[in-house]
């Protein structure tokens, strides 16, 4: 199986020993507590799950700036985005400043239970210039209308860094017990399936027929044994499909339209960055950590609005150092139903086609049709999948 990023073995930050975890939870009750932001909580879940291997905790400013500016930490480790715990200045009390260890409390679970225990190595103020650097390099825009920029710049300007020990997986394990998986659990499942080559498909949306065929095309092209459909389960922008609806739709599609034992449907606990190219590289890092050999990077991967070019998320992989990642990228073009050929095709493979030779439906058109109870064309969406989405849009 492919090795994790940056180490020979996976080193998740979740405390798996029950006795040790109980002792840490007891200790945490006596430590200064800090309710962190949703992004920092998601980072803790990803660190605990092993997806952010080999990181041991939150980055200090030097590491975070290295990730933003050069995709490389001062240690030489390749890493594409800052992984930080940023808070407001008024949250950093004298008690926290003097503490060696603090309890990080979950903002997304009622009662703010302890999510992790952190060794405080540094408390640093982020200057306006440094914040500009983070935003400029990570998101390629300063526009506050960009959901990732808005989220990153709204949580404060003080960074707390240091290693963490994670005690639970926030709401993800409880809300999505059949779908949420850690990186080591996925590695175990890949081993149990006997898969050597695995293609990962990232999604924050339901999958229509074009996505289904794209997965099948990538599996064939890579000579893969299986497909990991790996969906984001965390916070999204307004208007995106909720994770439970998306999960049900994807599972129905896999059940009916993929050969048995060729697909694993799973999810991970992270808030969407909408960072386009940089987030695509992050996706590659943590798919390598869960054992995948290939990642599908499609048109406008992890993008939003018009902030990124359609293939910027593929081109960024040409700029990373040789050997930085072991995982391979399957570069996908737009896929759509060809009226001439009566099947889903990748558009780059058919230069003889004109736009009118394809079936296109905008997202707005799809939502309007579903809300009105109109059937989507079977060339666009499997009817069983469309029925699940229709119930959502009709408020059932």
Q: Which residues are catalytic?
A: 204-205
Q: Are 226 and 262 in contact (CB under 8 A)?
A: yes
* Best CA proximity match to 85, nearest among 105, 113, 110, 114: 105
Find tokens 């998601």 and name the residue.
Answer: 42
Establish how many alpha carbons lie within 13 A of residue 116's alpha carbon, considering only the half-sphere containing its beta carbon. 29
143 token code pair: 């526009």
* Best CA proximity match to 377, nearest among 360, 394, 393: 360
Q: Are 90 and 163 in contact (CB under 8 A)?
A: no
> Could you give the CA distance from residue 123 to residue 378 in angstroms, rounded to a whole number?
55
* Best CA proximity match to 50, nearest among 4, 116, 107, 102: 4
Q: Are 292 and 327 in contact (CB under 8 A)?
A: yes
Establish how many alpha carbons lie within 13 A of residue 380's alpha carbon, considering only the half-sphere containing its beta carbon. 14
> Could you give the CA distance from residue 203 to residue 119 in angstroms, rounded to a whole number?
34
The secondary structure element, H or E, covering residue 102 is strand 101-105
DSSP string, 236-285: --TTSPPHHHHHHHHHHHHHHHS-TTSEEEEEE-------THHHHHHHHH
* Best CA proximity match to 166, nearest among 60, 40, 292: 40
> Could you give the CA distance from residue 26 to residue 291 in angstroms, rounded to a whole number?
34
């Amino acid at each position: 199986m492919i090795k994790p990023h940056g180490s020979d073995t996976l080193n998740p930050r979740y405390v798996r020993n029950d006795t040790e975890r109980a002792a840490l939870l007891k200790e945490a009750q006596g430590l200064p507590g800090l309710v962190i932001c949703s992004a920092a909580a998601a980072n803790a879940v990803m660190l605990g799950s092993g997806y952010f291997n080999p990181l041991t905790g939150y980055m200090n400013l030097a590491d975070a700036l290295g990730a933003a500016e050069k995709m490389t930490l001062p240690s030489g480790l390749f890493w594409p985005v800052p992984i930080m715990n940023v808070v407001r200045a008024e949250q950093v009390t004298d008690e926290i400043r003097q503490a060696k260890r603090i309890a990080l409390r979950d903002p997304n679970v009622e009662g703010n239970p302890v999510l992790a225990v952190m060794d405080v190595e540094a408390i640093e103020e982020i200057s306006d210039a440094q914040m500009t650097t983070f935003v400029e390099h990570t998101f390629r825009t300063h526009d506050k209308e960009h959901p990732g920029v808005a989220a990153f710049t709204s949580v404060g300007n003080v960074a707390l860094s240091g290693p963490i020990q994670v005690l639970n997986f926030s709401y993800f394990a409880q809300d999505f017990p059949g779908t949420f998986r850690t990186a080591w659990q996925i590695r175990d499942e890949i081993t149990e399936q006997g898969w050597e080559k695995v293609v990962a498909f990232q999604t924050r949306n339901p999958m229509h027929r074009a996505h289904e065929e794209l997965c099948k095309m990538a599996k064939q092209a890579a000579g893969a044994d299986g497909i990991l459909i790996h969906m984001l389960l965390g916070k999204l922008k307004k208007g995106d499909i909720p994770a439970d609806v998306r999960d049900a739709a994807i599972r129905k599609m896999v059940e009916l339209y993929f050969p048995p034992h060729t697909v694993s449907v799973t999810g991970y606990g992270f808030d969407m960055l909408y960072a386009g190219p940089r987030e695509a590289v992050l996706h590659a890092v943590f798919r390598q950590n869960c054992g995948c050999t290939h990642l599908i990077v499609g048109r406008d991967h992890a993008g939003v609005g018009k902030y990124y070019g359609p293939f910027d998320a593929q081109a960024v992989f040409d700029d990373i150092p040789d050997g930085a990642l072991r995982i391979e990228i399957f570069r996908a073009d737009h896929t759509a139903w060809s009226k001439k050929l009566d099947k889903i095709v990748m558009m780059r493979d058919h230069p003889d086609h004109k736009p009118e030779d394809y079936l296109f439906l905008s997202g707005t058109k799809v939502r309007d049709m579903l809300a009105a109870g109109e059937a989507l064309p079977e060339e666009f969406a499997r009817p069983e999948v469309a029925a699940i989405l229709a119930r959502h849009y009709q408020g059932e």
